[in-house]
Amino acid sequence: MVETKQWRADPLTAGLENDPQIKAAAQCLIEGEVIAFPTETVYGLGGNAKSRDPIRKIYEAKGRPSDNPLIVHIATPEQVREICTEINPIAKKLMDTFWPGPLTLVLPSRGEVSDAVTAGLSTVAVRMPSHPVARALIRTANLPIAAPSANRSGHPSPTKAEHVLHDLDGRIAGIIDGGETGVGVESTVVDCTTTPVTILRPGGISREQLIDAIGPVADDPAMTRPDQTPKAPGMKYKHYAPEAVMYLVPGGGERIQGLVAHEKNNGRRVGVLTTEENENGYPLADVVLTCGRRGELESVAHSLFAVLRDFDSKKVDVIYSETFPEKGIGKAIMNRLSKAAAGRLID
């Protein structure tokens, strides 16, 4: 166990690179420690991408398998050229359109980052976060920062500093509290070494947005094939899972009500994940938690991981979740829900 320091940084403050809290956190990174920090998607657990020892500490803190690659976070376009051998025209277009923001690009690696980051692949996943605290931290440390989500492996990703503390207190050197994150689901990961480019993980940038920017895109079949070596995080192992057994129920409504009644007859404590529109539609459930508004899927993405964590505090035995249209950010929402439910779908 180590002492986990806590720093606070207001993302609205000007000149964050001069903030003593940011400088102290950056110094930890320079010294080879790992710390948690906010991005616009979720909190990340960062370490020097060029050094094997910090990457080992990330894997150990998370309890994460070492064949799952990490995303390298950078603050300037110049840093991409330092760690990648090629930026083709499509990748350049994506960078110009969506960076800084929740889009990760898989590009040929120059070998500058540790092979522990790439999981032995010839490619490296890179993104430029838009969160002011994240970018100030990277600039101040003057290092590319490898960072998966700052949670224990398999748990819902953290969107608040308190989530990180719950999972990793005593396991990491520190946490920068920059408030609640915005997008709520992780970045979209796109492989730019294929033609057309391939979506490896749906996330904060939708398929439709990608097509508008660059034309046709493909979906990687490895998203549903755990036997393959992943090129991106979140593709191989069970993720985002609450402690209770979870099921997805297309249609919701009366179908969920019947399932709730059956479970309660068997003495189980039952939770339902719904939206504000249907909050009063499940009177038989022990716990009903709302995850944003169905008519505004961005609000569902924003709240999703926090709600999954909240179910753990409610001590339910089983959770039934409504499903969502797989358009726009709904694709990322359903990807995360499917993984949280370990693929359990009552259809």
pLDDT digits (tens, 9 = 90+) for 103-121: 999 999 999 999 999 998 9
89 falls in which pLDDT band (50, 70, 90)?
Answer: very high
Query: Residue 237 above 80 pLDDT?
Result: no
Residue 64, marked binder: yes
- Cα gap 202→209, rounded to integer Å: 12
Distances (CA, A) of 212 to 96, 183, 189, 208, 215: 14, 20, 17, 6, 6
Residue 59, marked binder: no
Residue 147, marked binder: yes
Start-end of H helices in the chain:
20-30, 52-62, 77-83, 89-98, 115-118, 132-141, 161-168, 207-214, 253-265, 297-314, 330-340
Residue 151, marked binder: no
Residue 68, marked binder: yes
Residue 152, marked binder: no
**Residue whose C-alpha is closest to residue 316's, from 276, 288, 347, 346:** 288
pLDDT digits (tens, 9 = 90+) for 150-198: 999 889 999 999 999 999 999 999 999 999 999 999 999 999 999 999 9
User: 């909050």: which residue's tokens?
Assistant: 279
pLDDT of residue 224: 58
Percent of the chain topping pLDDT 70: 95
Sheet of 145-146: strands edge to edge? 5-8, 174-177, 35-38, 43-48, 145-146, 71-73, 123-127, 103-108, 188-191, 198-201, 218-219
* Beta-carbon-side half-sphere exposure of residue 75 (alpha carbons within 13 Å): 16
Residue 195, marked binder: no
Task: Read off the pTM.
Answer: 0.94
Residue 100 CA, distance from chain mean position: 16
The mean per-residue pLDDT over the stretch 56-77 comes to 90
Query: Read out DSSP for 189-227?
Result: EEETTSSS-EEEE--SS-HHHHHHHHS--EE-GGGG-TT
Q: Judging by beta carbons within 10 Å of its beta carbon (0-12, 13-18, 19+), is residue 40 exposed, middle or buried?
A: buried
- Residues 15, 19, 21: CA angle, nearest 5 degrees: 150
pLDDT of residue 65: 73
Q: Could you give the domains of the chain?
A: 5-224 (3.90.870.10), 245-340 (3.40.50.11030)
Query: Residue 136 above 90 pLDDT?
Result: yes
Residue 81, marked binder: no
pLDDT of residue 1: 83
The mean per-residue pLDDT over the stretch 58-66 comes to 87
Residue 73, marked binder: yes
Query: Read out DSSP for 118-153?
Result: HTT-SEEEEE----HHHHHHHHHHTS-EE--BSS-T
Mean pLDDT of all residues belonging to the chain: 94
Query: Residue 236 above 60 pLDDT?
Result: no
φ, ψ for residue 77 (rounded to 5)? -60, -30
Query: Residue 231 above 70 pLDDT?
Result: no
- Cα gap 2→39, rounded to integer Å: 24
pLDDT of residue 255: 95
Percent of the chain topping pLDDT 90: 89
pLDDT of residue 68: 81
* Beta-carbon-side half-sphere exposure of residue 253 (alpha carbons within 13 Å): 3
Query: Residue 291 above 60 pLDDT?
Result: yes
Question: Identity (one letter) of the amino acid at 19?
Answer: D
Query: Residue 67 above 80 pLDDT?
Result: no
pLDDT of residue 252: 87
- Cα gap 158→171, rounded to integer Å: 15
Distances (CA, A) of 132 to 68, 139, 194, 219, 298: 27, 11, 32, 31, 21
pLDDT of residue 233: 61
Contact 126, 118 (CB under 8 A): no
The mean per-residue pLDDT over the stretch 20-47 comes to 98
